[in-house]
Amino acid sequence: MGGDFAPNNEVLGAIEAAKEKPDTLEIYLVGKESQINDLLRENKALLENIKVLDAPDVVSMDDSPTDTFKSKPNSSMNVAINLVKENKVHGVISAGNTGAFTTNSILKLGRIPGVGRPTIGALFPTDKGTALLCDVGAFVDCRPNHLYEFGVMGSVYMSHIHKIDKPKIGLLSVGEEKSKGNEVTIDAYKLLENSKLNFIGNVEGSDLLKGKSDIVLCDGFVGNILLKFAESFVWLMKSKLTHMANEGFFKKLWVGLISKTMKNVVGGFDYQKYGGVPLLGVNGVCIVGHGKSSPLAIKNMIFRAEEMVSKEINKAIEEYLKSNPLN
Amino acid sequence: MGGDFAPNNEVLGAIEAAKEKPDTLEIYLVGKESQINDLLRENKALLENIKVLDAPDVVSMDDSPTDTFKSKPNSSMNVAINLVKENKVHGVISAGNTGAFTTNSILKLGRIPGVGRPTIGALFPTDKGTALLCDVGAFVDCRPNHLYEFGVMGSVYMSHIHKIDKPKIGLLSVGEEKSKGNEVTIDAYKLLENSKLNFIGNVEGSDLLKGKSDIVLCDGFVGNILLKFAESFVWLMKSKLTHMANEGFFKKLWVGLISKTMKNVVGGFDYQKYGGVPLLGVNGVCIVGHGKSSPLAIKNMIFRAEEMVSKEINKAIEEYLKSNPLN
């Protein structure tokens, strides 16, 4: 209920998913019952594999992530996470307040044994394909062992979900040499180097889009700034092109064509196509979506959650950490 | 001598600068004397205000920044910095090894009284004009007081050189609220908030290119990664467009036109047009250039150094820090 276009896009996306996989998916829509039922009726989608569960409260985008856990126990977000906790569903997706969803999921579901800190990974396009940036904002101050854990979780995720054999892991730093970096990354380098992960060493800011590694590790402070910067880069281009378009009719035509090409080129930064990003390390499957998620994005988030469940990502993470403890 | 096109571009840029300002500039070209003299003769530029000083050694791009200070005392870099130390010249510019130039300048010239750590500022284009990102790689681990100093130095630089009245200072973080950030930025927020600087609060990764502030403060780890990422973003666009061009002749034509437009749009990231970036906080005027600096970039670096000298930037920084000590 907390997404920018809720519950409309959420319901439409769920209908598409339910229709596409009638035999394998059962979807609970959690939120204001009458609104949701109206939408289902309007779309002639009173399907057997869609159930509606009433939750009167809504976590807004402005709510403090830590408060809603107690202040809004009957929010759609909390009720939905509870379904996972009570083993009534296998996973939960949300396009609402990311901070609140992350915090509430961690507090309610706990962490996978062996994980010190969960992480939000963001997928981004590279010259060679797709890479995962961990962390992009779950925790700003990280210790070296957290970066190692991000490497483990990212590796499991990219090999199982994106079918990359032995994903290459790079540690984001300011130079290639192992002596380059800040205190945390220099120590994290040593942990990664001595691990069984496919660690290729430090990667620099300029290596990300070149696809030098399949996974890029950094703390949530750096990751969040980078991700928002990348999104705004696309924004700046569009803003400058619009400015040029205002200079005349022919230019307007011209800029329209360029914008279309640009969308092809940088469209990969539109993470809706990946169907949300995983909150890794939480003891339950949680998919984080953009507030502006389209019905298509919602559908893809549902499929992504299903995939994480069927491929037992969390179990694989737990087993890896158990078999490869840090000394 | 250590630049990628040295000494050719350096000599050509110096000739242009010397010709343009015959009465106010006196330029010392430091390096392999015979090579430099040959170039001056070839270009018919045996000018009165260009002098040549022999230095047999060259600091290469691969040399360790900290070693060259001792291992190559007669490098063009060291001899040139010595001229500043001995008050024989007012400033020094280099397109050589940035790390070595920074380290050697700080070690040899010392810091401006009151400055704990010098900083390299990078200028970048915004939707509203030009902004300064401090630090972009001089020091990776910063304390809160260093970020405050970067604010002071950036403010003096942007007001004197870029003529921005009371430049707006933003602290790079992961949210607008003062409680958002990592340990260092949360404490730096308090220092900046209580200072006389025009501090507008935290800025996010998405605010940089929008021009929300004239100066963006961060540690060298984050700044270096951001700067290199931005440069590579432009690279990725070009790479994808080239790929598209290979698909056919009409597309080739089309991509050529787009590339030209793109250059207009993101050309601002080509920092050569600013003529290098200042190493602020060092007790002497030092301008850091790109290894691939063109003659035009070299000329602009010389003019930039002259401007920093004539506007007494370092004196202004010293006086500000003296009048506004941190409690």
Q: Would residue A52 count as lying in a domain? A: yes
- Per residue in B236-277, pLDDT (tens digit) is 777 766 776 676 666 666 667 666 666 665 665 555 566 788
Do B228 and A206 lie within an 8 Å CB cutoff?
yes
Counting beta carbons within 10 angstroms of the beta carbon of residue B287, is it exposed (0 to 12), middle (13 to 18) or buried (19 or more)?
A: buried
Compute the mean pLDDT over every residue in chain B, rounded to the nearest whole number: 90
Statement: residue A268 has pLDDT above 80 = no
ipTM computed for the complex:
0.87
Confidence of residue A69 (pLDDT cuts 50, 70, 90): confident
* Token representation of residue A320: 């890896």
What is the model's pLDDT at position A272? Answer: 54
Please give the pLDDT value at position B99. Answer: 87
Contact list in A for residue B205 (CB cut-off 8 A) is 224-232
Task: Please name the residue that has the structure tokens 């810091």.
Answer: B111
Mark yes or no for CB contact A226/B229 under 8 Å. Answer: yes
pLDDT at B127 over 90: no
pLDDT tens digit sequence for B140-188: 889 999 999 999 999 999 999 999 999 999 999 998 889 889 999 999 9
Contact B222 A224 (CB under 8 A): no
Contact A288, A281 (CB under 8 A): no
CB contact under 8 A, B225 and A226: yes
Q: To the nearest 10°, the Cα dihedral for B173, B177, B182, B186?
A: 110
For the record, the structure tokens of A269 come out as: 């930064």
Inside any domain, residue A228: no
CB A290 within 8 A of CB A266: no
Tell me: cis bond preceding B73? Omega within 30 of 0 counts: no
CA distance B174 to chain A (A): 6
DSSP string, B249-281: HHHHHHHHHHHHHHHHHHGGG-GGGGTSEEEET
pLDDT at position A266 is 61
CB B51 within 8 A of CB B36: no
Which candidate in A176, A182, A217, A259 is best for mutational testing of the B interface (most B CBs within 10 A)?
A: A182
Chain-chain contact of A209 with B236 (C-beta, under 8 angstroms): yes
Dihedral of CA A19/A21/A24/A30: which sign?
Answer: negative
Q: What is the pLDDT of residues A195-249, one digit of tens each?
A: 999 999 999 999 998 899 999 999 999 999 998 898 887 777 777 667 766 766 6
Measured CA to CA, the distance from residue A279 to residue A301 in angstroms comes to: 12
Q: How many domains does chain B have?
A: 1
Range of the domain at B63: 1-115+281-327
Mutate to test the interface with B, among A225, A234, A238 (most CBs of B within 10 A): A225
Report the mean per-residue pLDDT for chain A: 90
Structure tokens given for A324: 């490869």
B305 in a structural domain: yes
Distance (Å) from the C-alpha of residue A244 to the closest C-alpha of chain B?
9
How far is B212 from B235, CA to CA, in rounded Å? 25
- Greatest Cα pair distance, chain B, in angstroms, is 66
Give φ, ψ of A248 to 5 degrees. Answer: 170, 165
> Distance from B29 to chain A by nearest Cα, in Å?
31
> How far apart are the two ends of chain A, measured CA to CA in Å?
44
Nearest CB partner across the interface for A228, out of B141, B206, B218: B206
- d(Cα B261, Cα A244) in Å, to the nearest integer? 10
Structure confidence at residue A123 (pLDDT) = 87
CA distance A172 to chain B (A): 8
Residue B265 to residue A240, Cβ atoms within 8 A: yes
Quote the CA–CA distance of A59 and A51 in Å, as a whole number: 21
Contact A226, A206 (CB under 8 A): no
Nearest to A222 by CA among A298, A133, A131, A287: A133
Euclidean distance between CA atoms A242 and A256, whole angstroms = 9
> What pLDDT digit, counting tens, does each position of B19-66 carry?
999 999 999 999 999 999 999 999 999 899 999 999 999 999 888 888
* pLDDT at res. B327: 65
Distance separating alpha carbons of residues A292 and A245, to the nearest angstrom: 27
**Is there a domain that residue A155 lies in?**
no
The chain B residue lying nearest A180, using CA atoms, is B140
Arithmetic mean of pLDDT, A55-76: 88
Look at residue A38 and tell me if it is in a domain. Answer: yes
Q: Confirm whether A327 is domain-assigned.
A: yes
Position B186, amino acid: I
Residue B321 lies in a domain: yes
Q: Residue type for B309, please?
A: V
Q: Which of B66, B221, B241 to mutate to test the interface with A (most CBs of A within 10 A)?
A: B221
In a domain, A274, yes or no: no
Give the pairing type, strands A91-94 and A285-288.
Answer: parallel
Contact state of B221 with A183 under an 8 Å Cβ cutoff: no
Distance from B107 to chain A by nearest Cα, in Å?
20
CB pairs under 8 A between A and B: 141
Q: Pick the residue of A67, A207, A232, A235 with the most B CBs within 10 A to test the interface with B by mutation.
A: A232
Chain B residue numbers with beta carbons less than 8 Å from the beta carbon of A183 are 141
B73: domain CATH number is 3.40.718.10
Contact at CB, A210 and B236, closer than 8 angstroms: yes
* Phi/psi of residue A284, nearest 5 degrees: 165, 160
Question: Distances from the Cα of A221 to the Cαs of A139, A231, A259, in angstroms?
Answer: 7, 16, 31
Q: Which amino acid is at B5?
A: F
| Residue B189 reports pLDDT greater than 90 | yes
Tokens 């907390």 belong to residue: A2
Identify the pLDDT of residue A250: 60
